[in-house]
Chains A and B, each alone.
Chain A
């Protein structure tokens, strides 16, 4: 029977068992379906209760004498009158009851005159003490005293408001009074100015009028983009949590793992089946959450509430009515304000199509969540594989959950961060940004590709590690040593080459560090010498050295791991032919690729040009020899020898190629570098030695560098002289000859007897 059928058998059984678990079902189905509507009801009810109370409650203000009292009453009445006549209100009309209000209206409750009780204090008592002792919410004194009969007289006064910052009611009244007094001041100014010859028009030299070009659909998406990616990450992680504990530590605790281990099924297939269930449950839970969440946003008008927090409100066409008519007349330059206004009105009319947007975005978002669910499932499966009991696994899950949440949270607080640079490969953070960009309608296929590929790569590593740990005997049986002995160097048995799990883990660990190093280089380095120094240092200290240290720690046979031996004569000759032809072949591949994908920003070498100024020796050392040696040690040494222990030669070559391509960050570079990486892996495997791969790699890097100094060399190797030539595939006799040389070398290499490692 095929291995896939056995994986399917394990998957089906685990899924049935998981779905029969009430805890998982509750966490997966009940919580998303019930939680969000309940949350919505609670929030809306709480807002209503708060608004209702504020509207019903009476507030006390103390003033020093009757003149103050009469004046304040007058002010409050004028304010009420202004709202009722609709001059100030967004939606004119009398105050509505909280039940009829939308959530955003509820937040803008207003203090009415009948809510304020004004008390005149004894002449001897102090306003300060009265407010401090909380006998009154606010104290108010005006100097010189106000004139209730002629509030708009020509005298300027100062108003002092005493309030208590620690009492929420006092603060509320203070805030409201502040607004009301500002409106009163505005009224006085208008009254004074209206007596002047030029009238009120003096006060408004211009009116600003905001028209947002975003549709309400896009604004809704923007609000979702702030909250949803973070919530989705949490929901996916939570969804994966129970099944990962139950299928690993739970199985061990119940004593069923032993029977499974004794069945004739390889551990990898068991882990694959279980892993499938974890991803299924996580994705199902994510989909339910996404659906429930968007439905809630849609039906509850909570989206409107969130929209009311925008710093600049979207265009209110009513504001233009105050603008002089002449402003909207044709000035002879095409479109007028009226046209734009009409545009905006059209958008407003199209409002209410939020559901349409959600149905469009949701499938893409779910698709983007899939690699993340794979990553979360893999990491959790690997972590739980250590645990022997349910409780122990729960303890391990805490830091894992934090590790997922913190990057997601940090990125959520950085709304202007874009999907670029090192963020592309930072796990979790890249997915959060990716989903945000999807919600905002920014589709950048290259960046998304890298983001998804790197997440898949981490996930693959996590699953490999999980499979390795799952079958380990000290994890399988509680009474066999301790899992602590898994990592102590003392207990590691010497091996010829790293295990595939170890090799992939080490490369995955180097991945973000190497990117961090590269972005450091782009940001801070200025002089070409310094950039080259950093490149070389990165190669040595971030790539090669860690691999050597791991090889020592894992007690590997360094000679076998890194294939450190001389090649035989015939393969060596074949490799020289390959090295001679590699640059023209690479250029041809690149040109062919450009037919489908246009070149990226740094592909045509404009920025790289600066990098190669200065001494030739230092250029070659940093950009050809260091990468040629260090990258080979990592990819064709450590990684390839690790993969070869369990994976067929063809698959190893393909995987090494893909990972090597992925290390080159720019999506446009991945295809060509993957092919080059695979060729180098093939060279290394066929020769049984890493030295030929280093030679080909150095030749590939050095020849174009040398050609910039010696034109003759460039034309000898038929290198493209301009960016145009780089983009269009061009084959002259010389180019064809080099490709022929390359192919002869490749065939020779494949035909020679492979040297047994």
Chain B
């Protein structure tokens, strides 16, 4: 169970102005639910996910993971959490098996538990052929599978995924999506952000559309269809972000482009 309440993040910048990256974000995700956090680049998705994972501390508002405040009870909250992004790296000079063991031990798992869980994950994610090779030589798909296994090592009840399918081939993409579905079916609360709206449409139970740090629409597909008066998620997305009609008529990079942030969402 994830509770996000009135989350605000203000960054100081060297130019002297302050930047409100996230501005009053609130939502909850129940066990077994897949929540899609969607938005254009720079909308504040990554910042929100980092605050939910306790990597950034919010300027105001709070996040509770299974009832634990991520700042005040950091350790307990992080124990409930599996975190995965497309940019997550692996230790180049360790093997997937060693990485899994390392994170298992960091989560205070016993030696037997670690061994059992490693066998399970390697089996399930079909990692046998590369489990004992150094990560430096793995393909993108193999790396992402290792990363998934790493996030699932402690069997956490909450999964947070920041664009988990970015840059993956069809096969690995399928593995990742299947794994998300399977984990939700096992009663886990999943929050994911993605740019692939078709993917999100088939996968997520509920959506939060985020634009300039605020939620502009929230709910199931039907509710959003009703609110925007459009059928497809991509159309709903454009409509609610205020780029409905003229988005094709504007040359790229003109006034209507919402991306103003320093980093990628």
Binding site for B on A (CB under 8 A): 1, 6, 9-10, 13, 16-17, 20-21, 254-256, 258-259, 261-266, 473, 476-482, 484-485, 488, 490-491
Contacts and interface: CB of A to CB of B under 8 A. Distances in A.
A1 B108 contact: yes
Contact of B92 (A6, A254, A481, A485): A254
Contacts of B83: 258-259, 262
A490 to B, nearest CB: 7
B103 interface: yes
Interface string B200-220: 000000000000000000000
A263 B105 contact: no
B179 interface: no
Given A17-B94, A254-B89, A478 B106 contact: no
B102 interface: yes
Contacts of B56: 473, 477, 480
A243 to B, nearest CB: 13
B165 interface: no
Given A254-B91, A473-B57, A479-B261, 15 more contacts: A9-B105, A16-B98, A256-B88, A262-B54, A262-B81, A264-B79, A264-B108, A473-B56, A476-B55, A477-B50, A479-B262, A485-B12, A485-B14, A490-B12, A490-B16
B150 interface: yes
B90 A256 contact: yes
A558 to B, nearest CB: 24
Contacts of A254: 89-92
B88 A264 contact: no
B263 interface: yes
A266 B91 CA distance: 20
Contacts of A485: 12-14
A9 B109 CA distance: 12
Contact of B55 (A10, A261, A479): A261
Contacts of A9: 102, 105-106
Given A264-B79, A485-B14, A479 B263 contact: yes
A259 B91 CA distance: 11
Interface of B: 11-14, 16, 47, 50, 53-57, 74-76, 78-79, 81, 83, 85, 87-94, 98, 102-103, 105-108, 134, 150, 261-264
Nearest to B42: A479
B13 A481 contact: yes
B107 A264 contact: yes
Contacts of B92: 254
A255 B87 contact: yes
B55 A491 contact: no
Nearest to A18: B93
Contact of A258 (B55, B98, B102, B263): B55
Contacts, number: 95
Contacts of B53: 262
A88 B157 CA distance: 92
Contacts of A20: 93-94, 134
Chain B residues touching A, majority SS: loop
B86 to A, nearest CB: 10
- Give the top 7 A-B pairs by smallest Cβ distance, nearest first: A479-B263, A255-B89, A264-B78, A20-B93, A254-B89, A1-B108, A262-B83
Given A255-B88, A262-B78, A473-B57, A10 B93 contact: no
A480 B89 contact: no
B19 to A, nearest CB: 8
Nearest to B265: A479
Contacts of B14: 481-482, 484-485
Contacts of B105: 6, 9
A263 B107 contact: yes
A482 B91 contact: no
A392 B171 CA distance: 38
Given A17-B93, A17-B94, A255-B88, A265 B263 contact: no
A17 B91 contact: yes
Given A6-B106, A480-B11, A480-B56, A13 B94 contact: yes
A1 B14 CA distance: 42
Contacts of B106: 6, 9-10, 263-265
Nearest to A486: B12
7 contacts: A17-B93, A255-B88, A262-B55, A264-B76, A266-B75, A479-B261, A479-B262
A21 B94 CA distance: 11
A495 to B, nearest CB: 14
Contacts of A256: 88-91
Contacts of B57: 473
A258 B82 CA distance: 12
Nearest to B134: A20
A258 B88 CA distance: 7
B108 to A, nearest CB: 4
Given A264-B107, A482-B13, A485-B12, A16 B94 contact: yes
Contacts of A266: 74-75
Contacts of A490: 12, 16
Contacts of B134: 20
Nearest to B9: A480
A564 B105 CA distance: 46
A8 to B, nearest CB: 9
A491 B93 contact: no
A479 B90 CA distance: 20
B11 A258 contact: no
A13 B134 CA distance: 14
A106 B145 CA distance: 67
Contacts of A17: 91, 93-94
B146 to A, nearest CB: 11
A486 B133 CA distance: 40
A161 to B, nearest CB: 67
Contacts of B94: 13, 16-17, 20
